[in-house]
Chains A and B, each alone.
Chain A
Amino acid sequence: MTEYTLREIMTVVAAREIKDGDIVFCGTGISMIAAMAAKHINAPNSVIFFETGAIDSKLEELPLTVADPRVMYFTSMNGGLTDSFATMQNKFIGKHVIGILGAAQIDKFGNLNSTSIGDYLKPKARFPGSGGACDAASFVNRSIIFIQHEKRKFVNKVDYLTSPGWLDGLDGRKKAGLPGGGPSVVITNMAVMRFDEKTKEMYLSGYYPGITPQKILDNMGFEVDISRAKEIKPPSHEELIVLREKCDPQRLILD
C-alpha cells in the first residue's frame, strides 16, 4: 500500500466529489489542489473558476490566493468580482457550480462561521470574514466543506453564522428565501460527513483507515448518526502521483 498523508487523503476525497462538467468555485489552499486533481483524475471537463473573475485558469503553478497572478494565465476570460459572483447567482449557470468552502466552526446543519469567536463586536478571536464564502454558500447547488475534526469546531451553535448551510433543517433555506441546494459533504482530517436527505442533519458517512467512529465522535461537540459509516478507500497510487507531481510539486499546500 502506498503511504499518504492526511492532507493528501482529504484532497483526494474532495476531488472524487467533483463531477465531470461541474464548475468549481475554488477557494485557496487545499480546495484548489482538490479542484486541480479532479481535472486530472475523474472530472476532465470540470471548470475551475475563482471569485476574483478568472475563468478556467491553466494553473501551470499553484496559486496561493484567488488573486494570485497565476490564476490569470491562459483563462477563458479575466473579469472581476461583479461578473464572477453573478455567475453563481445566475439562474442557469449557478445550478452547475459546486462550492468548496472552509470555516472555523460548523454546526450539524452545515452552517459555517469564518468571522469570529465570542461577541461579534469584541471577539475572543477574529477570522478573515466571509470573503466570497457566504455568497457561494448562498447561491450554489452543492458544496464541499473542509474543516479540522475538533470539538471546538463542531459546535451546537456557531458563534457567527457567516455562510448558510441548511440553516435549521430541510425547509430552512426555502424559508429564508435562499435558492435550492446546500452543503453536500464535510471533509475532515478523520472522516467524511454527509447530510440526511429528510432532516438535513449531519451524519458520519465514512472514516479514514485506522480511525474509529468513536474517535470521531470524541472530537465533536454534538452527536451524529454513525450507523451508515464505512471505511473510505485510501488514495490510489495514480491519485497520489497526480497530487504530488501535477498539482503541488513544491509542496506549498500539501505540507
Chain B
Amino acid sequence: MNTEKDKVMDIKEAIKRFVKNGSHISIGGFTLNRNPMAAVYEIIRQNIKNLHLYAHANGQAVDELIGAGCISKLEIAYGGNARFAPTCIRFKKAIQDGKILFEDYTNYQMALRFLAGAIGVPFLPTRSSLGTDILNKWGFSKDLRKKDPKIPNKKVIVMNNPFDSWGDASKVVLLPAITPDVTIIHVQKADKQGTIRMKGLTFADVEQAKSSKYLIVTCEELVESDELRDDPDQNQIPFFYVDAVVHIPYGAYPTACYRYYDYDPIYLNEYRRYAQDDDLFKKYLDKFVYGVKDHQELLNVVGKERIEMIKADPRTGYAINLDRK
C-alpha cells in the first residue's frame, strides 16, 4: 500500500529495498513473454539467496534464478520454455540433483492461489486435479510446514461439497492462498505513481501483483498520468498497490513484450547451450549477468542488430518473419 505521488527509482534501489535473502517472491509473465528479466538479472547480481519462488509457468526467469542459485524453495506448475527448453534446463538439474525443495501445482491452481491472496481469503476451491498425484505427493515435509509460518500447514485439502450436490459437484480441492513478500512484473506503460497499463495477455500478473505485500513494476515507457487516465478502461492495476516504478526499456529481454519486441531466439538458443553444463553456465552468468553493470549494458553486448531484429511490427505486435529456428 503506497499512495506517494512519485515512486520512480532505479532497479538497483528497488531490488535492494524490497527483495531480501529469504524473501517469498513471485514474478510476472509466462514462459518467454514479459518476464521481468532486468529485475531478475539485478537479483542475481545482488547475490540475493534463499528465495522462495511462487511460479505458474514463468519460464525463462525461473530458470535463470534457479541456475544462479538464488532459489531454495519453489512452488511451481510448469518449468518449460517452448522449443528452447521443453523442460527448463537448470530447473530440471536442480530438482534431479536435490538442490531445491519444490512442490507441484497446476497453472490454474497457482492462478487461483494468487487470486485468493489478492481478494483476501485463506483458500479457494477448484475441481481440478481430483484423483491425481498433485493431491497425493507433497514436496514440503510436515516438519517444514510446522516450522515455517510462511508455508501453509497443508498443500491442498479435498473436501466434500458442503452444499451437497449444489453445482453438480461432489468434491472440491481447496487451495491455500499465496501472499508473497514481493511481486515483480514488467509492463508496457506506467506513470510515476504506478498506474499500470499492460497490452496483450495479462497472464496472472494482476492477481500476483495484488496478492503481494510489495510490488515492483518495471516498464517499457514511463508516461504522463494524463495519458493513462484519458483512457482508464485500458489500465489494470491502480497505483496504490505499487511500491516502485522502474523505467527499463527492453526490461523483458530476452523474453517478449507484446507490441514492443519479440523474444530473441538467438539468445534463447545460446542460453540453452550454456545451461546444459555447470561450467558453461558459470561462463554464461559471468558474461551476460555479472559481466554487465545493468540491463542497458546487456543490450549493448547483444548488439543493435539483434535488438532491431526483434522489434515488433506495429500491425501484429510481434516481429514478422523472425527466424525462430
> With a CB–CB cut-off of 8 A, which chain B residues contact A163?
132
User: B104 touching A53 by the CB < 8 A rule?
Assistant: no
* Residue A178 at the chain B interface, CB threshold 8 Å: yes
Which residue of chain A has the shortest Cβ distance to B55 in the bound complex? A129
User: A177 touching B170 by the CB < 8 A rule?
Assistant: yes
A156 to B: closest C-beta gap in Å: 16
Q: Which of B15-23, B108-116, B276-284, B286-294 is the contact stretch?
A: B108-116
Which residue of chain B has the shortest Cβ distance to A160 in the bound complex? B133
User: B82 touching A65 by the CB < 8 A rule?
Assistant: yes
User: B133 touching A115 by the CB < 8 A rule?
Assistant: yes
User: B130 touching A178 by the CB < 8 A rule?
Assistant: yes
* Residue B134 at the chain A interface, CB threshold 8 Å: yes
User: A129 touching B76 by the CB < 8 A rule?
Assistant: yes
Among candidates A52, A64, A172, residue contacting B82 with C-beta atoms closer than 8 Å: A64
Q: Which of B28-36, B223-231, B299-307 is the contact stretch?
A: B28-36
Distance of A176 Cα from B96 Cα, bound (Å): 31
User: B324 touching A167 by the CB < 8 A rule?
Assistant: no
Among candidates A79, A124, A139, A161, residue contacting B127 with C-beta atoms closer than 8 Å: A139
Which residue of chain B has the shortest Cβ distance to A165 in the bound complex? B131
User: B78 touching A67 by the CB < 8 A rule?
Assistant: no
Distance of A161 Cα from B108 Cα, bound (Å): 17
Q: Is the contact region of chain B dominated by helix, strand, or loop, or is it mixed?
A: loop
Q: Which of B2-10, B145-153, B199-207, B241-249 is the contact stretch?
A: B199-207
User: B258 touching A72 by the CB < 8 A rule?
Assistant: yes
Which residue of chain B has the shortest Cβ distance to A65 in the bound complex? B82
Among candidates B107, B139, B167, residue contacting A121 with C-beta atoms closer than 8 Å: B139
> With a CB–CB cut-off of 8 A, which chain B residues contact A78?
200-202
Interface residues of A in 49-92 (CB under 8 A from B): 51-54, 60-61, 64-74, 78-82, 85, 89, 91
User: B134 touching A68 by the CB < 8 A rule?
Assistant: no
* Residue A132 at the chain B interface, CB threshold 8 Å: yes
User: B325 touching A172 by the CB < 8 A rule?
Assistant: no
Interface residues of B in 66-88 (CB under 8 A from A): 76-84, 86-88
**Residues of A in contact with B, size category:** 35 or more
Proximity bits, B286-324, A CB within 8 Å = 1, else 0? 000000000000000000000000001000111011001
User: A81 touching B56 by the CB < 8 A rule?
Assistant: yes
With A80-B206, A82-B207 in contact, is A60–B33 under 8 Å at CB? no
> With a CB–CB cut-off of 8 A, which chain A residues contact B50?
none
* Residue B46 at the chain A interface, CB threshold 8 Å: no
User: B324 touching A252 by the CB < 8 A rule?
Assistant: yes
* Residue A210 at the chain B interface, CB threshold 8 Å: no
Distance of A124 Cα from B132 Cα, bound (Å): 20
Proximity bits, B190-220, A CB within 8 Å = 1, else 0? 0000000000111111110000000000000
**Residues of B in contact with A, size category:** 35 or more
Q: Identify the interface centre among A131, A164, A167, A178: most chain B CB within 10 Å of its CB.
A: A131
Q: Is the contact region of chain A dominated by helix, strand, or loop, or is it mixed?
A: loop
Which residue of chain A has the shortest Cβ distance to B161 in the bound complex? A177
A216 to B: closest C-beta gap in Å: 25
B107 to A: closest C-beta gap in Å: 4
User: A53 touching B201 by the CB < 8 A rule?
Assistant: yes
User: B317 touching A179 by the CB < 8 A rule?
Assistant: no
> With a CB–CB cut-off of 8 A, which chain B residues contact A64?
32, 82-84, 324
With A72-B200, A79-B201 in contact, is A134–B127 under 8 Å at CB? no
User: A82 touching B115 by the CB < 8 A rule?
Assistant: yes
* Residue B168 at the chain A interface, CB threshold 8 Å: yes
* Residue A4 at the chain B interface, CB threshold 8 Å: no
> With a CB–CB cut-off of 8 A, which chain A residues contact B32?
64-65, 67-68
User: B33 touching A128 by the CB < 8 A rule?
Assistant: no
* Residue B49 at the chain A interface, CB threshold 8 Å: no
User: A132 touching B320 by the CB < 8 A rule?
Assistant: no
A152 to B: closest C-beta gap in Å: 17
Distance of A73 Cα from B313 Cα, bound (Å): 11
Distance of A54 Cα from B30 Cα, bound (Å): 13
Among candidates A70, A160, A164, residue contacting B131 with C-beta atoms closer than 8 Å: A164
Distance of A125 Cα from B95 Cα, bound (Å): 9
Binding site for A on B (CB under 8 A): 29-33, 56-57, 59, 76-84, 86-88, 91-92, 95-96, 98, 104-112, 115, 126-134, 136-137, 139, 158, 167-172, 200-207, 256, 258, 262-263, 312, 316-318, 320-321, 324-325
- Identify 15 new A-B residue pairs, CB closer than 8 A, beyond the known A73-B318, A135-B129, A160-B137: A61-B321, A64-B83, A78-B201, A81-B203, A125-B92, A126-B87, A126-B91, A128-B86, A129-B79, A132-B77, A135-B106, A161-B136, A176-B130, A179-B169, A250-B324
Closest 6 CB pairs of A and B: A177-B171, A176-B131, A128-B80, A131-B78, A85-B108, A67-B30
A-B contact pairs, 15 of them (CB 8 A): A60-B316, A66-B30, A69-B200, A69-B318, A71-B201, A80-B111, A80-B207, A126-B96, A130-B106, A131-B106, A134-B132, A138-B130, A160-B137, A164-B129, A177-B172
